[in-house]
Structure 1
């Protein structure tokens, strides 16, 4: 029954059913009076009552529901029950009979009229929209594709949203959960707020895929939070794991950026509750984010105007096309045949973003100095005057030349940890070598027999520090310092600040990264060159044994017998393939004789040393739900991300997507019934208010 409208100016006088309506075209086919109530009219097809207002009756005749019922029930093939509106009971009886006839017609349509190829095309279009475009555009795209393919493809934003939310998204999520199964996994989590300031917890799962035979990091879901309380976050996470049948005892570790006290605090936090439920779990702070913080603290030792100079240079050009054009003309006049590259922005949302910014400024330093000198002479602009002074000061150039190799090396190490699959031995070697190289630039030559001996070096002892003139500040820096022709006192001050910058960077790395180095060192024992060596470490010395809950005697026997089998993937770069081969190996009688050791090693490789995957997903969330699409519901947003994650882990795009049999089977008459019963507000989940 339609909801009554608010009483207007003339409605207090009331309106009555008019018999002339039964002769009017467009109404006579379906309109009936309601016995005993002349303020209403009845529809013989929809079996509903409508106010006896002519405008309401015309509006009802134009609804999709009425048109669908009219097309189905006016057919001569549908047996009709004689209508009798004498009593309310007969009206309800007719409603039941007509609904049964309608359902029978729907079932018939499902087998006869619904073309499966059209449904497949609609599913592919919906997947394409979820991967690349706004749902609003499907109103036109569906018509274009249908016209080209010469098929009756009726796909608009309501139907497309329902396909994504109720069919494709849930199906690919079930496929992910089946792939994880009862195996081990790790979680990567991050708190975020969307454009509507709603707090959310984004979850990524990292596991070994039996189907793909590799370690996979994929989107798991979004948890909507009402507050950042640790108890609330913990309960929400545990509820999510239970709903998705993920055993928390199988969680090897949790990774986060380490900033939120509600997640990784020492007292009442998600991490503390996680250790209570899973004492063998590991918490890992993101190494990329830790390196970013280390370098930020080290740069703070240098004069503050360096970051100001780089950030203001970007703002100077980003806000004015006139400044860009003027600078491009000057650059083209000095560098014939070359175009000026745009200045880059320093942003905290991108780790170590200052590295490419410094490279860009140094590559165009002289032209920038001339540009700001010209602007200063011709315009009265305080910012240009200030920037001109900074670029004219050779000390600022010296500091940038000193920083350039430092931030480049940190950025290179960070990019290694951003890779989804990489040998842990390579990671720990690069990370410790960075620390050792920095250490040897400020202390006397020293021998470090192990990785941990490097990290455990006592920095508080200053007796091994090199004299200031012997500190290795870089050959390029020393060359620039000599060309600057500064006084000895000024040169000593600059060198002292650069040394303090290196010392602060070393201190910050020592403060933040030793736990990660310990975990990486334990994983390095699983390298094929180590486990197959006659000098491989004894089983009792393996630091990761505390994480294993099974039979240690059986695991030790398999560890001893590893070198008795001929393995094909023995290169250090094939560490995952090696342990997959170990887990699948069978003996003469067909039993998997190394399956426990192989699966345990693969479970350890799921430990995430970077939270880059979840940061990228949060960025996608902000691009999908932005200012113009602030009404996008969380269920639709979550399933869009699930579809994108499905494409990513299968290394395909929408043009290679093939709907599964489960998706096609769900796309039936029941789907249409659900889609048509959705609340009207959901039809505009992705509507962009651009008009």
Structure 2
């Protein structure tokens, strides 16, 4: 009795342009192929595959399959329209909640020239803010902070989905401005969780914790378990630290209060700028600092 040759499917058939769209391996039989259109098994022979492709059943199934999986290609939005949508998203992120964009998008589209191409609603607006605007601002923020000293303003909150979050605002000397840093998700509202989450967020932004010179919160006992310098209860003992810190940041403070006095018309800022702009005050603190340092050293020895 002659030996019957059993041929196995070849992977090259799966790459053949005539078969690749519908041919695959049969999961129930290693010696057969499977047609995805007809949902049927085929002998692993090239002649059988070619014959199956010409059958009426296969052609009909292929036609139905192509119609079911037809993809409609939508024309791309112009760059000008994308810029308009991004500007609206930036306005929403700065001034209001996301929900008004449903009406604002329709208003702009119906009443402004070339606005008809804009299709902007809550889902798209949220996606643009999270995936386009936020990463862009983060990229600009990191080098702007650099190795400068900074302080933080913290506020814990709970959103409508009952998820705890920690809002973080960073203040630092910049040629631009101090700005919102991030919203940090919290698993719990206790001090340890807040401290760990905050430290991790600062690490994500590559901010040195040693450059943190102050934190402002509305519940310091819970939100600030960090090892940050604290002013001594005896006021005169903290003068040396304050003088040293002012001297290290003299130029930055002078520029800061100059900007505040010019832009905000603040009387206190004008007064402080005059003091910092006076060389006599600078020399006085330079003279006073080593004496205060020596006094601090003697006090600690005692």
User: What TM-score comes out, normalization by structure 1 length?
Assistant: 0.26
SS in 2 for 1:149: coil
Report the Cα offset of residue 188 of structure 1: 1.9
* Larger helix fraction of residues: 1
Task: Summarize the Cα distance change of 1:167–1:136 in structure 2 as closer, same or farther, 3 Å threshold.
Answer: same
Match of 1:204 among 144, 169, 188: 169
Q: Does 2:185 correspond to 1:237? A: no
Q: Does 2:79 correspond to 1:67? A: no
Report the Cα offset of residue 126 of structure 1: 1.3
Task: Summarize the Cα distance change of 1:576–1:235 in structure 2 as closer, same or farther, 3 Å threshold.
Answer: same
SS in 1 for 2:176: coil
Report the Cα offset of residue 157 of structure 1: 3.5
Matches within 5 A, 1:274-673: 274-275=227-228, 281-282=229-230, 518=235, 542=240, 544-545=242-243, 547=245, 573-575=269-271, 577-578=273-274
Q: Does 2:84 correspond to 1:121? A: yes
- CA deviations on 1:214-239 (whole Å, 9 max, x unpaired) are xx4x3221221212444433222111
- Gaps spanning 5+ residues in structure 2: where? 1-19, 24-32, 39-60, 252-260, 287-302
Report the Cα offset of residue 240 of structure 1: 1.0
Name the structure 1 match of 2:37: 40
Name the structure 2 match of 1:159: 124
Name the structure 2 match of 1:181: 146
Measure, in 2, the Cα distance between the counterparts of 1:211 and 1:134: 25
Contact preservation (8 Å) 1:253, 1:282: no
Contact preservation (8 Å) 1:252, 1:282: no
* Larger strand fraction of residues: 2
Q: Does 2:222 correspond to 1:248? A: no
Task: Summarize the Cα distance change of 1:137–1:58 in structure 2 as closer, same or farther, 3 Å threshold.
Answer: farther
Measure, in 1, the Cα distance between the counterparts of 2:101 and 2:169: 29
Task: Summarize the Cα distance change of 1:575–1:240 in structure 2 as closer, same or farther, 3 Å threshold.
Answer: farther
Contact preservation (8 Å) 1:254, 1:282: no
Name the structure 1 match of 2:136: 171
Name the structure 2 match of 1:191: 156
Measure, in 2, the Cα distance between the counterparts of 1:128 and 1:572: 32
Report the Cα offset of residue 250 of structure 1: 1.2
Name the structure 2 match of 1:330: none
SS in 2 for 1:282: coil
Measure, in 2, the Cα distance between the counterparts of 1:185 and 1:120: 33
Contact preservation (8 Å) 2:22, 2:35: yes
Q: Does 2:109 correspond to 1:146? A: yes
Contact preservation (8 Å) 2:37, 2:65: no
Task: Summarize the Cα distance change of 1:150–1:57 in structure 2 as closer, same or farther, 3 Å threshold.
Answer: same
Name the structure 1 match of 2:297: none
Task: Summarize the Cα distance change of 1:125–1:178 in structure 2 as closer, same or farther, 3 Å threshold.
Answer: same
Measure, in 2, the Cα distance between the counterparts of 1:134 and 1:58: 42
Measure, in 1, the Cα distance between the counterparts of 2:65 and 2:98: 31
Contact preservation (8 Å) 2:155, 2:167: yes
Task: Summarize the Cα distance change of 1:128–1:187 in structure 2 as closer, same or farther, 3 Å threshold.
Answer: closer
Report the Cα offset of residue 253 of structure 1: 1.3
User: What TM-score comes out, normalization by structure 2 length?
Assistant: 0.54
Alpha-carbon RMSD across the aligned residues, in angstroms, is: 4.5
Report the Cα offset of residue 162 of structure 1: 2.2
Matches within 5 A, 1:39-58: 39-40=36-37
- Gaps spanning 5+ residues in structure 1: where? 1-31, 42-51, 73-112, 265-269, 276-280, 284-513, 523-540, 559-567, 586-592, 598-691
Give aligned pairs, total: 217
Task: Summarize the Cα distance change of 1:575–1:249 in structure 2 as closer, same or farther, 3 Å threshold.
Answer: farther
